[in-house]
């Protein structure tokens, strides 16, 4: 039969246990934030970098977002059908004719300004039957 643990041992065990549990909690949080949740976020992407990011839930009808990109200005507006480009000083104005976006994977593109506006899920994308579109 062993000797009872000393007071110092107990303190050390407790400290190690706290560190271990804290690490587990941090890891769990990391795993959850990396893979959990399903909120949609509206992102403006310029040259591969996200320059604007807005929670879709925070967008109220008729709220607008102005994005300065590629030497010009694009204005997005939220409405009942989703988010639409309502103003752009680009050549051609193709982005103004693109449909409103509201679902994960939807995009509006302004090629002259090299701007992509997309809806993305914060968590894992809902299992979609389609990985990519050819057109």
Partner 1 sequence: MNEESSRGTMIRGPRKIGMIAVLSIVGVIGIFLIDTMDGARTVTRDGVAMNTVVSVTLVSAKPKPQLNAILDEIFALIGELDKKFSMWNEDSPLSEINRNAGISPSAADGDLYSVLETARRVAMLTDGAYDPTIGSVTRIWRDGTGEGRLPSSEDIASALPLVGCEGLKLTSGGEAYLERRGANIDLGGIAKGYALWSIRRLLREKGVGSALVNMGGDILAVGDGDGDRPWRIGIQSPSKDRGTPLCAVRAANTSIVTAGVYERRWEMEGREWTHIYDPSTGFPIEGDLLSATVISADPAEGDALSTAFMVIGPARSLDLLRILPGVDAIFVLDSDERGMEVLATPGVRDSLEMFDDEYRLTFVDVY
Cα–Cα dist 21/118, whole Å:
39
Q: Can you tell me which residue has the tokens 């939220």? A: 78
Contact between 32 and partner 1 per CB under 8 A? no
Contact between 99 and partner 1 per CB under 8 A? yes
Number of residues located near partner 1, criterion CB under 8 A:
37
CB of 135: closest distance to partner 1 in angstroms? 4
Contact between 79 and partner 1 per CB under 8 A? no
Nearest to 114 by CA among 41, 53, 51: 51
Report the phi/psi class of residue 72: left, alpha or beta, with left for phi > 0 and alpha for psi in -120 to 50.
Answer: beta
Choose, by CB under 8 A, the member of 42, 56, 95, 116 that binds partner 1.
116
Local structure of residue 101 (DSSP, 8 states): B
Nearest to 110 by CA among 83, 62, 77, 73: 73
Contact between 1 and partner 1 per CB under 8 A? no
Contact between 80 and partner 1 per CB under 8 A? no
The site for partner 1 (CB under 8 A) is made up of: 2-3, 5-6, 9, 12-13, 16, 19-20, 23-24, 27, 30-31, 34, 45, 47-48, 98-99, 105-107, 109, 111, 114-116, 118, 129-135
């Amino acid at each position: 039969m062993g000797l009872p643990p000393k007071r110092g041992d107990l303190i050390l065990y407790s400290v190690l246990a706290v560190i271990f549990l804290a690490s587990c909690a941090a890891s769990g949080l990391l795993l959850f934030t990396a893979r959990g949740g399903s909120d949609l976020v509206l992102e403006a992407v310029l040259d591969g970098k996200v320059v604007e990011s807005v929670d879709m839930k925070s967008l109220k009808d008729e709220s607008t977002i102005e994005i300065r990109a590629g030497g010009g200005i694009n204005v997005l507006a939220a409405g009942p059908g989703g988010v639409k480009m309502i103003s752009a000083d680009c050549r051609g104005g193709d982005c103004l004719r693109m449909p409103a976006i509201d679902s994960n994977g939807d995009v509006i593109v302004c090629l002259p300004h090299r701007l992509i506006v997309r809806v993305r899920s914060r968590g894992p994308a809902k299992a979609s039957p389609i990985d990519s579109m050819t057109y």
